[in-house]
Amino acid sequence: MTILNAYIKEMTDNNQSVLSGENAFKLYDTYGFPLELTEEILEEKNLKVDKDEFNNEMESQRTRARNARSESNYMGAEENILNKIDSGVETRFVGYSETRTETVVEIISKENEFVHSIEQGEEGFVLTEKTPFYAEMGGQVGDTGLIYNESFEGEVFDCKKSIAGKIVHVIKAKKGQLKTGDSVILEVNNERRQNICRNHTATHILHKALKTILGDHVNQAGSLVDKDKLRFDFTHFSSLTDEEIENIEELVNKEIMEAYMVDTQEMELEDAKKAGAMALFDEKYADKVRVVSVGDFSKELCGGTHVKNSGQIGMFKIISESGIAAGIRRIEALTGVNALKYMEEKTDIIKEGANILKSSEKEFIRKLTSVVNELKEKEKEINDLKHKLVAGAEDEILSSMVNIKGVNLITAKLDGVDTNSLRDLAEKLRSKAKDGLVVLAGISEDKVNFVAMASKEAVSKGVHCGKIIKEIAAIAGGGGGGRPDMAQAGGKLPEKAQEALNKIVTILETLIK
């Protein structure tokens, strides 16, 4: 434990005998290092932990987590009209066993006001005596579906809980009018709900699988369960290896295939804890709790909706694993048909790739590797050829040499030449031109590179490559400079390269004494 060792060193260096509660908590929270173990190790060195401070840190962490959860679970405070609802109003959840329920409309609100009816085209909140709609809670999204009777049709597009815990349907009236006191049928979109259930039960199995494979320090730090995927955040100090991910997937799928009955039981909190049910360490629970068991594999306190049998999950596939904060990892995964579709997409990619490479799927990777290697070789070949082409241009360029006040000036513009080849060529030309100045412009893609080289004799006559290059690069939208005998620059306006080269004669005339 290098972090703890660092703390110990710091303490001995500063002559301290007590580890701060903040650091002890960091070890616990971020690195999954139990307090007892920290104490044990410190004791061997006659050091202690500030336990009071540790407990304070723990308490404030719990409060933070609780607040963060309630904010996301409940409707915002701005819907304060719903907070004025009489506490005697009951909105009973019957959705564990039913997805279609006949009930009575108790309260309608619209634009933050209580109303007696809602008309076609309007949006509002509807509360009913009982409901099969699950309100967003514990990471599980709210149900959607229909609300209707003989003279009214509406769509429930979300379901949330008010701060007072009332179940609120967020609806849009599609046809007719709905009044308080009306009888209505509430019908949950069952296909969507089933997908949510698959993901929720899979989350419980995943939680237990993570504890089994990674260790007991793994704790749920958050989760999101909707119709498309599941997201699970947990405490763990390093990213998962490919092997760990494979092992987790395999264990989860194995438990799915066991086709366990998913059982729910109401019991006293103490009994649930005795039975070994996993609970969020920072959550406050009521005395009566609901325990969801997936066979003998997982037992967890949970208010969410689940499949009846783990076999209904069908299939589980992790699609990403990442870190979201120090010591907190996030897994995203798919279940059922969504997982199947994901695997099919992957298979299609391999199939398509193999087709393009005209190879079998089995030979795909070997073929791809050889194509990539071949490409690298070709690239090298092309570069060598370019080099040779540039070298061949030597004589032609030399023939354009002019003499300015006793200095032999050689200029040339070359297409598709990199700076290295440009420098090589300039050097060769310089050695061939006595009293010479060579300035080359290499055009590549959307820029121009200049290289200037002058012989000793030319420099002694006043030639200064740095000064020349600075002035001509400015014409081509760039800058640069260098020594009297050698300079280099780049410009963003390749179309101005020739104009820049033409300017050299004038510059030379002023430079040469």
Bridge partners of residue 453, in order along the sequence: 438, 486
Helices (H) and strands (E) in the chain, counts: 15, 25
How many residues comprise the chain? 513
Q: What is the spatial distance between Cα 371 and Cα 381, in angstroms, rounded to a whole number?
A: 15
- Binding residue for Zn ion, selected from 75, 209, 302, 501, defined by CB under 5 A: 302
The strand pair at 328-335 and 145-149 is best described as unpaired
Question: Exposed (0-12), middle (13-18) or buried (19+): which is 442, by Cβ within 10 Å?
Answer: buried
User: Which stretch, 46-54, 155-163, 299-307, 378-386, contacts Zn ion (CB under 5 A)?
Assistant: 299-307
Q: What are the CA-CA distances from residue 333 to residues 110, 217, 245, 438 (Å)?
A: 38, 21, 11, 64
Q: Which helix (H) or strand (E) holds 442?
A: strand 436-444
458-477: contacts with Zn ion (CB under 5 A)? none
CB of 223 to Zn ion, least distance (A): 8
Contact flags string 425-444 toward Zn ion, x per CB under 5 A: --------------------
With respect to Zn ion, which residue has the nearer C-beta, 152 or 232? 232
With respect to Zn ion, which residue has the nearer C-beta, 304 or 336? 304
CB of 298 to Zn ion, least distance (A): 10
User: Which stretch, 27-35, 211-219, 301-309, 403-411, contacts Zn ion (CB under 5 A)?
Assistant: 301-309
User: Which stretch, 52-60, 247-255, 294-302, 451-459, contacts Zn ion (CB under 5 A)?
Assistant: 294-302
304 part of the interface to Zn ion, by CB under 5 A: yes
With respect to Zn ion, which residue has the nearer C-beta, 236 or 290? 290
User: Which stretch, 125-133, 245-253, 296-304, 484-492, contacts Zn ion (CB under 5 A)?
Assistant: 296-304
Q: What is the spatial distance between Cα 14 and Cα 252, in angstroms, rounded to a whole number?
A: 49
Amino acid making up residue 45: K
CB of 267 to Zn ion, least distance (A): 16
Percentages of the chain per state (helix, strand, coil), in multiples of 5: 40, 30, 25
Half-sphere exposure of 101 (CA within 13 A, CB side): 20
DSSP classification of residue 260? P
CB of 226 to Zn ion, least distance (A): 13
197-256: contacts with Zn ion (CB under 5 A)? none
Total site size for Zn ion, rule CB under 5 A: 2
With respect to Zn ion, which residue has the nearer C-beta, 277 or 302? 302
Residue nearest to Zn ion (CB): 302
Residues that bind Zn ion (CB under 5 A): 302, 304
